[in-house]
Amino acid sequence: MTNNPFNLASVFALYLDGERQASEATVKGYENDLKMMRRFLVTNHRWAGWLQINMQDIQVYLTHLNDLRRQWTTINRELASLRTFYNFLLTNDLVNNNPFEEVKVKTHARNLPRYFYSSEMNALFNAADGDGKPLDFRNRAIIELLYATGMRVSECAQLKLSQIQWDVQLILVHGKGDKERYVPFGNYAKDALHKYMTECREILMDKYHTDHDIMFINSHGRPITSEGIEYILNQIVKRSSLNTHIHPHMLRHSFATAMLNNGADIRSVQELLGHSSLSTTQIYTHVTQENLQKTYMQLFPRAKATKENEK
């Protein structure tokens, strides 16, 4: 291994090509990211070789990238290249630490999940009832179950009768990555499912001579798809009084928000949603905090009152 700091980028490229068997495009991408930083430091008379890079050099370079109005995703990708390069140097005992290890660019704020208020959910339930035709019972059962459990639409589409424990009102959900979790469901969902079974599922499966264990079916008695559920929800919204669009995940968001607003702890909600990371669930706390603040400002008598008003 050469110790010449000016040749280290070339040696790194050979390592990527030979030992890691990276594609030609990947190698060129790494080389380009290194060249860009080196060129900037040379131009600004800060270049002393890769082994002499310090935090001040990095901060100046990041300021430069920000001035160029680079997207944060692009900057983070370039930082990842530089971080990998210095890990390579660290592995070969050419540096004592990786100066890019803790360098991160703040990402854009995550959009808060859109959810339905209780009044909006009631409007959806009413619209799902339709004219009392067999498929209307299915539609009501789907929307009741999605809201009652926070299941993903794919989990709902793949739900089997054998996963439901009617006596204790629990469902064994097969989630992402073959992970399983139990979720309870309430009486509204239970009643809707029973009505669907007798008033729709059994009738259509007898009519079309189908026999399978999938809970929800299409109009021909075959297992429904995720796309089919999305279509059903869109038709429900069109029949409702709501002036909005719907995505199945909005019912999942509504479930999580309702749970937290009514006092559930975030760990329990994480388990019910099947989130592997608590950070994924924590976005809902922003929604509930926003709701809490609105409630406070509307209802607490001294929230908006001033001393002048009290005189």
Indicate whether 232 pLDDT > 90. yes
- Nearest of 284, 289, 269 to residue 110 by alpha carbon: 284
Catalytic-role residue among 35, 176, 238, 267: 176
Higher pLDDT, 68 or 85: 85
Indicate whether 5 pLDDT > 60. no
147 is catalytic: no
252 is catalytic: yes
Higher pLDDT, 137 or 302: 137
Catalytic-role residue among 83, 138, 140, 152: 152
Average pLDDT, the chain: 87
DSSP for 40-105, written as a single string? HHHHTT----GGG--HHHHHHHHHHHHHTT--HHHHHHHHHHHHHHHHHHHHTTS-SS-TTTT--P
Confidence grade of residue 255 (pLDDT, cut at 50, 70, 90)? very high
Catalytic-role residue among 138, 140, 252, 253: 252
pLDDT in tens, 181-226: 999 999 999 999 999 999 999 999 999 999 999 999 999 999 999 9
Catalytic-role residue among 46, 181, 190, 249: 249
Domains and CATH numbers, the chain: 8-91 (1.10.150), 118-298 (1.10.443.10)
pLDDT in tens, 22-73: 888 888 999 999 999 999 999 988 899 999 998 888 988 888 887 787 777 8
302 is catalytic: no
The pLDDT value given to residue 75: 86
Indicate whether 113 pLDDT > 60. yes
275 is catalytic: yes
296 is catalytic: no
Indicate whether 251 pLDDT > 80. yes
